[in-house]
Structure 1
Amino acid sequence: MGCDGGTIPKRHELVKGPKKVEKVDKDAELVAQWNYCTLSQEILRRPIVACELGRLYNKDAVIEFLLDKSPEKALGKAASHIKSIKNVTELRLSDNPAWEGDKGSTKGDKHDDLQRARFLCPVVGLEMNGRHRFCFLRSCGCVFSERALKEIKAEVCHTCGAAFQEDDVIVLNGTKADVDMLRERMEERRQRAKLGKKTKKPKAAELVSRADGSEESPGPSRLKTGKPEDTSLDAKEKKVNSAPKNTAASGSAPGKAGKPPCGGTKRSIADSEGSEAYKSLFTTHSSAKRSKEESAHWVTHTSYCF
């Protein structure tokens, strides 16, 4: 059995067998997870943030994603759970002093070690290249290796000293089981936040209603005396009519109708019981009076006339 030209086909060219499963290169997968943004597929650069599922992003890529309100917005699985900037945490990463970046391979004559990581664990010194499990704290954003948290057990952060709980520990680029567990915690946390907001609203409404009720209810002085104020028109007219009578009886000036009358007779300062130094301050004192010879024949600029 032959084809045109006398070629003999082989068995794998005629018989279709089961498709081979393509194996993903683990090294390439680790490089993509730990060195590139999950959302924009660009190289990670500070500031770097992480979501509640442990995925790494560039902060500017997340902000652009949240600001994009167009219907053509590509919403993938990587960022479908991010609703606001509060759903991500900015990471505090420790630089690796042995990482040179692209400085040594500018001419292309040097091998790039892709397993050399930019960051490391500040406690144990393990490189964050994907071969070791790393995690971060939601309370402060510090990043550690899982080995450091297991060997040095503490209730506060190893670098900044902030307190944290077990729910605050999130594994970076974890397995499928880790992602499922983190997703359950995220949903429970958001559900508690919604219930907390709903309980705050009725409390605020109760406080407003109590404030309105206290304004409408009479004060304690009114309840004790039992004499409510007269708010009728007749009472107001009586008050208005009685005001001019009181001013006429007192004999005060029309401009001083609202002031209560002073003493019946006026007393001079000279007849008062004050000291002589105090009396000398006034013009009615004997030291302030001048004789006709001492006084000038022209008017001075002062308001005193002797």
Structure 2
Amino acid sequence: MTDDAPTGLAMTLEPLVVRVLANNPSPFTNTGTQTYLVGTTDVAVIDPGPDDAEHLAALLAAIGGRPVRAILCTHTHRDHSPAAPALKAATGAPIIGCAPLVLDDAGPRADAAFDTGYAPDRVLADGEQVAGQGWTLTSVATPGHTSNHLCFALEESGALFTGDHVMGWSTTVVAPPDGNMAAYMASLDTLMARVQDRIYYPAHGDAIERPQRFVRGLAGHRKQREGQIVRLLAEGVGAVPAMVARMYVGLDPQLHGAAGRSVLAHLLDLQARGRVAAADDSWQLLPA
């Protein structure tokens, strides 16, 4: 990704889509956040990225003085939406997209914290559209990674901008209290039903050119994790740290807390379905 997507340079991916990579690489952003410009005569900006002066300058250079019809945010983690106010100030464009979400979450994370300054001019419901000259973007509600997550479908080309719901380099973080495994799995089903999507452009990682197959793989991975948890519970392993030690062999110990949040997301889903119960700091499998 770093070779074919150098930081700060506008790269044309298809006639209506340009990508600009922010210089914020990290363990949870891969090579950085990818901001997308959609349109030719006028444009929309998807996921303006972190509050970084160099990235803002790169975006303005890529926009090149064209009218900006909308600044669209898939969700409000700090690597996605904080540049929106400065971009709005520079272009006059409205901030449109996901609902605001501020969560006081001091637990161990494997992704960015929430953007407390996000203030949209318009919140898009599922299926609502934003349009310009020769392009139309439709919102697709995909809660799970966060409760306010949206994807955006480019109707003219069959491209879907997937934010963090589907990434091209890693599985998505689903961390309670806001991350919800049942919602995430349902959102994968939503994408599976969208056979019109030709290609995914995620906020992190490579473009996904066989999206249906990729989404099936993501769903299968989560079902395998759930199966591991059920088997461990059947063996009497009920504490989350003990599960993490068995399930994530070789993982950096500094990431065990974040892995535990993912295990907890599965357990809460199983609890809602009546398959497990919480007992103090442990969990137990209920009779079928």
TM score, norm. by length of structure 2 = 0.21
TM-score (ref. length: structure 1): 0.20
Normalized per residue, the structure richer in helix is: 1
Give the structure with the larger strand fraction.
2
